[in-house]
Structure 1
């Protein structure tokens, strides 16, 4: 019987494929077991029905609509495009935390962390999503991302800025009004730290000859190498990983993806 990647358990590597393999994520140096044959089993477990909802363009009870009062009592500005403010219930505190007491055991250590949490409202209309905005409105959102990133990233105590959006109640989004968040931290989180280390290790280690673009110092770059490979394969000839590409952008489900909708852009 020939190996079938859509049926036989395996793990994946960015370099080789073997009969039984896992996903090898070169950014985190972690392996994730792939068992595609499990998709053929009968499923009687829980399923989530779609939740169609009809939202108003303006909700007088929404904490994010223009001119409304937020949960902390502050009034939103009457904005016409984007609006940014510090989160009223931040996960991080601006003021440095006091030093933690000596741990009773090395396995019980803790490190103080502080920073700033911002909320970016994408649009005044309550019933829209980022995907349903006009190109011009999306451009304004991206410009606001850049503005907040540069502002927070230039602050002396900030070492990492994360821009993200929780989408849907199941993911912990507390308000359907189109908005996202920016967390600016005094330390680099564990996963990005691993990825940065892997990128540096790749750039400073001998690599096979390649015509992929190099970094600004002329060194090999793991992500550029991978993007160059994926972009060189015509979409109609690929295995479905490339979602969309043009002369400026490439969106691809990476070879080592864990989640069905995980993408590198």
Structure 2
């Protein structure tokens, strides 16, 4: 194993066995001057209720629909769903122009009626119902569809169309491409090494320099092979392939782990830290899932501050992933950002 000094001083490549790709790490570039795009950070207080927000309780949505006066987690069919339950199959043509039927449904999940907060400002007790709702949705939709993708897009910088705290649930009759890759790599690892790749990762990272938060059941890390500057993996420390299989204690512990991660994100640059988050678990039609391990990906775009974003362009778009800051340096910054939320309103 190379020394810490090697990794922090010299360009090198790191392999991501989960996504089967290499990442170029260039730590010597951290000192380069920045004259690129600067964004305005999302740091202005929001009202707890917004008359113009189509996710707030009691407000009207598209197509004549309206929200009830909900008080907790609220889930409804997406008014502009990317997937529909009844779609025709395309005609077969040239092998160069393959297409297939895509069936499914999409739902929106409001995390809270409070328009002013994000999950980072919730108490741990307020995150538990979100975890419970995820489990219920996976169980229900997984009985009808091959795969159910839970995700959150936080921040307009990433394309979120509404600042109200919410996520989405897309169920499909096919395996999404990212899941196809992770299924292949985890199966190959298990076949070669005789154990789960991500369970082994959790064991080897526990208590280490890339850990951001850890409790009895979960840990969040900046993975050794991280692509985005402050990318993280949220991992269980026990074997589990799907979220509905979590015990009550593991679900409560997961709420604590989510809180411990996202508060640090916000505290890092003292802003509402944008990210893409998604859960990956074993596909629901997969019979032998011993090699699968449940996990969540967090992909934040911020680079040096609340206003400087990383863009995947040039070499990254045409050759391979690249980052400047090492995973170890990023993890240290996030660990140091722990404590009470910088606005002082997270319990």
TM-score class normalised by the smaller sequence: 0.7 to 0.9
Deviations 1:110-151 (A, max 9, x none): 222111101011111111111111222211111111111111
Match of 2:200 in 1: 225
Matched, 1:152 2:127: no
Identify the match of residue 47 of structure 1 among 38, 44, 59: 38
Match of 2:6 in 1: 4
Contact 2:42 2:155 in 1 (8 A): no
Match of 1:248 in 2: 217
Any unmatched runs of 5+ in structure 2? Answer: 235-347
Matched, 1:184 2:184: no
Higher-strand-fraction structure: 2
Q: 1:68, CA displacement in angstroms? A: 1.0
Q: TM-score, normalised by structure 1?
A: 0.83
SS in 1 for 2:232: coil
Choose 1 or 2 for highest CA Rg: 1
Matched, 1:84 2:75: yes
Distance 1:143 1:102 in 2: 42
Distance 1:107 1:257 in 2: 34
SS in 1 for 2:109: strand
Pairwise mapping of residues 124-143 of structure 1 onto structure 2 (< 5 A)? 124-143=113-132
Distance 2:129 2:110 in 1: 11
Match of 1:172 in 2: 159
Q: How many aligned positions are there?
A: 231
Q: 1:191, CA displacement in angstroms? A: 1.3
Distance 2:25 2:91 in 1: 43
Aligned-residue Cα RMSD (Å) equals 1.6
Q: 1:77, CA displacement in angstroms? A: 1.2
Q: TM-score, normalised by structure 2?
A: 0.64
Distance 1:42 1:69 in 2: 47
Any unmatched runs of 5+ in structure 1? Answer: 13-23, 208-218
Match of 1:196 in 2: 183
Match of 1:94 in 2: 85
Q: Which has the higher contact order (CA 8 A, sep 6+)?
A: 2
Deviations 1:192-211 (A, max 9, x none): 11111111111122x3xxxx
Higher-helix-fraction structure: 2
4+ residue runs over 3 A deviation: none
Match of 1:163 in 2: 150
SS in 1 for 2:169: strand
SS in 1 for 2:63: coil
Match of 1:59 in 2: 50
Q: 1:83, CA displacement in angstroms? A: 0.5
